Structure 1
Amino acid sequence: MQKVRADPGHSSGYVERFRALAAAGEDIVGEARLVEAMVPPRSRILDAGCGPGRLGGHLHRSGHTVVGVDVDPTLVAAAQEDHPGPRWFVGDLAELDLPARGVAEPFDAVVCAGNVMAFLAPSTRIEVLRRFRRHLTADGRAAVGFGAGRGYPFPEFLQDAEQAGLVPDLLLSTWDLRPFREDSDFLVAVLRAAEHH
């Protein structure tokens, strides 16, 4: 929310940008297609840092049960307006406790796209990853993607994930399945719960 305080028009501008891209027929759901490849039909998916709902909305229309959470009320309001069907909540991912909000069942997948991890306060990163793990089924997985040069080096992220009880199943450099290399400027980490955590 620091970004929003610094630029009060940020959220509405973000909403309008994705509405315009969708209206122009641009592909804005590539991240959702990767998640769909990870889960069976009619899965339960958590859209963590859901923004205006582009991914959760697509996943819902594909037949999945979707819950979306974002700290920005403007973005959640846009998700509710543009993508009815999923349950959208305003909330801080570092305090994520969906059973307390009446969502008891764990999720088959968590998707965390749009550089959400890089926007988090550094002090909350491990706790957010812990909460992702806590909300997953035993064999569920989280797909987390963000770009380099945003103050969260990839090796540090992977260490934090391990500390939170999540280990990589697959590391990619794009949402369209290109392999991750040492010099990649983007990371998509597909994480699962560590065996003994």
Structure 2
Amino acid sequence: MSRWEELTGGTSGQDYAERFAALAGSGKDVHGEARFCAALVPAGARVLDAGCGTGRVMIRLAELGYDCVGVDLDASMLAVAQKQAPELPWFQVDLTGFDPDLLGISPYFDLVIAAGNVFPLLAAGTEATAVERLAAALRPGGLIVAGFGLDEAHLPVPPSITLSEYDDYCAAAGLTFVDRFATWDADSYDGGGYAVSVHRR
């Protein structure tokens, strides 16, 4: 069982969506991840939203002209995403078993984004496999972007993956480090408790 399932029981989709809707309604910018991605690859690029949740990031990217696919293990989150954007492709998939061929979709994505603490919320011991599966879905030269917390202040569960471990998983999957930031607004990383990492295949 993933740490996410242990945390939520797999029933948190609507609550999660309502929380972000309230943030947006208060005037807070909730599209930093999509803006970050749009600065990396041009409109029309193929994007895999890995751990897409309720679809907030992917729906925004689709509005900006990106060719998106969303995958998540949590059916309650996907139900919200499908209701909000039924025209977009959503799949219930465990990232450790992600295989585009099995889903009947083309591999070779230009960008994979894993936002929202995807890697710290995986089942213990599966992180390297998830990175490997996502890396395999990238075209040569494609990018994977992962943003996740590194300490208790930035995570809903105890910290479980360090940046050096994540970099090692990426290297083992044939990915090369490109850059690291402290926020989705591309602020310089200063060793803090949250990091957005970019690696290239």
- Structure 1 length as normaliser, TM-score? 0.91
Q: What is the aligned partner in structure 2 of residue 155 from structure 1?
A: 164
The higher-RCO structure (CA 8 Å, 6+ apart) is 2
One-letter amino acid of the structure 1 residue matched with residue 192 of structure 2: S
5 Å-filtered alignment, 1:100-115, equals 100-115=102-117
Q: Aligned match of 1:165 in 160, 171, 174?
A: 174
**What is the CA-CA distance between 1:22 and the residue it aligns to?**
2.9
1:51-85 per-position Cα deviation (integer Å, ceiling 9, x unaligned)? 00000000001111100000000101101111333
5 Å-filtered alignment, 1:126-137, equals 126-137=128-139
Contact 1:53 1:68 in 2 (8 A): yes
Contact 2:34 2:57 in 1 (8 A): yes
Identity %: 35
Contact 1:110 1:142 in 2 (8 A): yes
Contiguous gaps of at least 5 residues in structure 2: 152-158
5 Å-filtered alignment, 1:1-197, equals 1-4=2-5, 7-8=8-9, 9-149=11-151, 150-181=159-190, 183-193=191-201
Aligned pair count? 192
Cα distance change on mapping 1:7 and 1:53 into 2, 3 Å? closer
**Greater mean alpha carbon deviation, residues 137-146 or residues 148-157:** 148-157
Q: Structure 1 CA distance, aligned partners of 2:178 and 2:6?
A: 37
Contact 1:4 1:10 in 2 (8 A): no
Contact 1:3 1:10 in 2 (8 A): no
Cα distance change on mapping 1:6 and 1:127 into 2, 3 Å? closer
Please state whether the residue corresponding to 1:152 is helix, strand or coil: coil
- Structure 2 length as normaliser, TM-score? 0.89
Q: Structure 1 CA distance, aligned partners of 2:132 and 2:6?
A: 27
Contact 1:21 1:28 in 2 (8 A): yes
